[in-house]
Structure 1
Amino acid sequence: MSVPLWLWLATVFGLLGLLVVDLVLVARRPHEVSFGEAGRWVTFYVSLAVLFGLGIWYFSGGVYAGEFFAGYITEYSLSIDNLFIFLIIMNTFKVPKVHQGKVLLVGILIALVMRGIFIAVGAAVIAQFSWVFYLFGAFLIYTGYKLARTKHDEEEEYKENALLRFVRRVYPVADRYHDARSFIKIDGKRFVTPMFIVMLAIGTTDLLFALDSIPAIFGLTKEPFLVFTANAFALMGLRQLYFLLGGLLNKLVYLSIGLSLILAFIGVKLVLEALHTNSLPFLNGGEPLDVPTIGIEVSLPVIIGVLVITTVASLMKSKRDEAAAK
């Protein structure tokens, strides 16, 4: 897939422009996001991603379009899992609901920049060392196993990462929120506010999730343009999705199992592809192995099927539990 520089620049600036407009709207009128507003924005961003995918199909063919949609759906699904942690962070820092939209949006902007760097590095490594897919595949299978054993708990304690602890050591932190301001002067001394800390927490925490989501999407497409845009579209609607799902998050009881199956499936796909193009001298004399590979025409239906079954099963179980509790 040949992507000219102007298209890269147009796409990046277009996506950033949408997020800036979103940020301006949030800053101009801080408010608690309603279910209806969140639903309209989520519909807008999902429709935008679908139109983008159809554009790829029209100009570059069905294979690349399938890779984009598979990557987008996978990244968006993994982003839903991130919302559990975002909810914990919001509760830990006691963020006022009226300012939660700005916190999420700025945190997502930070995450988008960091993921862009991560994707660029990953693409460069893959271009030089094809055997890295063995590592990616094994990592995804292991991550899928760990995720299957994970239980999300809204009361789970959030532990600040090294960057946040460093910021607290370098800058004094105000003891309360000052509207949506990130910095403030008190008696002539400059302080960062809890708003700044929580935005940094959201942005940097997302990078930890990228450690499994980026290898996962590289398992679906080798095109950096598709990897970046699928990640960008998945992140762009994440703020509104947080408010749209709301209490529904706790009803997705089987989400971790579904996502773990997807990660393990992509991990197996990566290992098979690595074997099929093997160049490691200590394995089969450095020659490729005659093993089957999994194409995007199989991957996309599997990913969608697992998510549909997981969602339906989760909602059915939650409904039964609610009925039994009455």
Structure 2
Amino acid sequence: MNVPVWLWGATVAGLLVLIAIDLVIVDRKPHEVTTGEAARWVIFYVSCAVLFGIGVWLLAGHEYGVQFFTGYITEYSLSVDNLFIFMVIMASFKVPLIHQHRVLLIGILLALTMRSVFIAVGAALINQFVWVFFIFGAVLLWTAISMLRGSDHDEEYQENAVTRWVRKIYPVTDSFEGHRMMVKREGKRWITPMFLVIVAIGSADLLFAVDSIPAIFGITQEAFLVFTANAFALMGLRQLFFLLGGLVNKLVYLSYGLAVILAFIGAKLVVHALHEYHVAPDWLDINNWLSLGVIVAVLTITTVASLVKSRRDAAKAAAAASS
């Protein structure tokens, strides 16, 4: 897939325009995001991703179109699992509801910047060294096993090394100062909890990238598609945060589904590397249509099963309370 420089520039410019629209319309006046508002924005961002994918399909061919949609669905589904961590971080720092959107927006912009570096490095490595696919595959398989071992989320947030390091450098105010991230008191510069929670979310998403970047490289090796799929998934993530709310806790089987998907993509990476070394037989081929079907099927089954279990548990709890 030959992507000219002007198309890269136009795509980045388009994404920046979407971010600017969000800043002007949503974040211009801090407020508590309602479910209806979040739903409209989620539909808007998903529609933008679908239109972009259709454009890829029509202009570059159906094969690249399938790769984009498969990568986008994978990244978005992995992001849903990450929402739980974001909720725990927000609760831990006691972020006021009117400022949560700004925290997510800045944190996700930082994450997108850092992921862009990861994508560039990953693309350069796989173009030079075939054995990198074995490493990526091993990372995904190990992550899948880890998710199966500890599928239950830890509801207590423990600050990572980056957040603790920031605390050591600057003193932190006891309370939020509106949406300000730094204040000056008695000639000394202080950071606010707003700055610290943005660091926490940005650094947490950087750890998530260890899973998501190898996963999407298992679907497509086109850096343009990897970047855009990540960008659209991240840009719709903050609105999804307000839309899903407590629903994330009801997706009890999502971790199992994501573990299956990561293991599947990890196996696909290993098979791809074996084909490059002319070791794997010709019949052992996992094409993108099969990948898309497996991912959609697994997500559908785990989501439906999770909602059914949550409904049954709620009914049992109600029956026990009435008795």
Range class of TM-score, shorter chain: over 0.9
Equivalent residues of 2:250, 2:310 under 8 A apart: yes
Paired position in structure 1 for 2:317? 325
Give 1:294's match in structure 2, choosing from 286, 298, 310.
286
Paired position in structure 1 for 2:19? 19
Could you tell me how far apart the structure 2 residues matched to 1:142 and 1:167 are?
30
Could you tell me how far apart the structure 2 residues matched to 1:129 and 1:168 are?
40
Paired position in structure 2 for 1:315? 307
Could you tell me how far apart the structure 2 residues matched to 1:24 and 1:165 are?
33
2:258 is the alignment partner of 1:262: no
When structure 1 is superposed on structure 2, of 1-10 and 179-188 the one drifting more is 179-188
Could you tell me how far apart the structure 2 residues matched to 1:234 and 1:250 are?
20
Paired position in structure 2 for 1:281? none
1:139 to partner: Cα distance = 1.5
Equivalent residues of 1:89, 1:202 under 8 A apart: yes
Equivalent residues of 2:27, 2:101 under 8 A apart: no
When structure 1 is superposed on structure 2, of 19-28 and 74-83 the one drifting more is 19-28
Paired position in structure 1 for 2:59? 59
Q: How does 1:138-177 map to 2 (within 5 A)?
A: 138-153=138-153, 156-177=155-176
Equivalent residues of 1:173, 1:194 under 8 A apart: yes
Could you tell me how far apart the structure 2 residues matched to 1:88 and 1:225 are?
33
Paired position in structure 1 for 2:4? 4
Q: Deviations over 1:154-192 (max 9, x none)?
A: x62222222222211111111110111101112232111
* Residue identity opposite 1:188 in structure 2: G
Could you tell me how far apart the structure 2 residues matched to 1:45 and 1:276 are?
37
Q: How does 1:10-49 map to 2 (within 5 A)?
A: 10-49=10-49
* Residue identity opposite 2:252 in structure 1: V
Paired position in structure 1 for 2:321? none
Q: How does 1:242-281 map to 2 (within 5 A)?
A: 242-278=241-277
2:188 is the alignment partner of 1:196: no
Could you tell me how far apart the structure 2 residues matched to 1:71 and 1:309 are?
19
**Structure 2 counterpart SS, 1:80:** helix
Paired position in structure 1 for 2:88? 88
Equivalent residues of 1:26, 1:102 under 8 A apart: no
**Structure 2 counterpart SS, 1:130:** coil
Could you tell me how far apart the structure 2 residues matched to 1:109 and 1:21 are?
14
Query: Normalising by structure 2, what TM-score?
Result: 0.96
1:148 to partner: Cα distance = 1.8
Paired position in structure 2 for 1:123? 123
Q: Deviations over 1:142-163 (max 9, x none)?
A: 111111222344x622222222
**Structure 2 counterpart SS, 1:28:** coil
Any gaps of 5 or more consecutive residues in structure 1? 279-286
2:74 is the alignment partner of 1:74: yes
User: Aligned-pair RMSD on alpha carbons?
Assistant: 1.1
Could you tell me how far apart the structure 2 residues matched to 1:77 and 1:227 are?
15
**Structure 1 counterpart SS, 2:246:** helix
Could you tell me how far apart the structure 2 residues matched to 1:202 and 1:25 are?
23
2:216 is the alignment partner of 1:237: no
Identity of aligned pairs, percent? Answer: 63
Could you tell me how far apart the structure 2 residues matched to 1:44 and 1:50 are?
10
Equivalent residues of 2:81, 2:254 under 8 A apart: yes
1:18 to partner: Cα distance = 1.2
1:21 to partner: Cα distance = 2.5
When structure 1 is superposed on structure 2, of 163-172 and 69-78 the one drifting more is 163-172
Equivalent residues of 1:74, 1:217 under 8 A apart: yes
Paired position in structure 2 for 1:222? 221
1:20 to partner: Cα distance = 2.7
**Structure 2 counterpart SS, 1:32:** coil
2:295 is the alignment partner of 1:303: yes
Q: Deviations over 1:30-66 (max 9, x none)?
A: 1111000000000000000000000001101100000
Equivalent residues of 1:84, 1:152 under 8 A apart: no
Could you tell me how far apart the structure 2 residues matched to 1:252 and 1:141 are?
22
Equivalent residues of 1:141, 1:263 under 8 A apart: yes
Could you tell me how far apart the structure 2 residues matched to 1:152 and 1:248 are?
15
2:147 is the alignment partner of 1:186: no
Equivalent residues of 2:271, 2:280 under 8 A apart: no
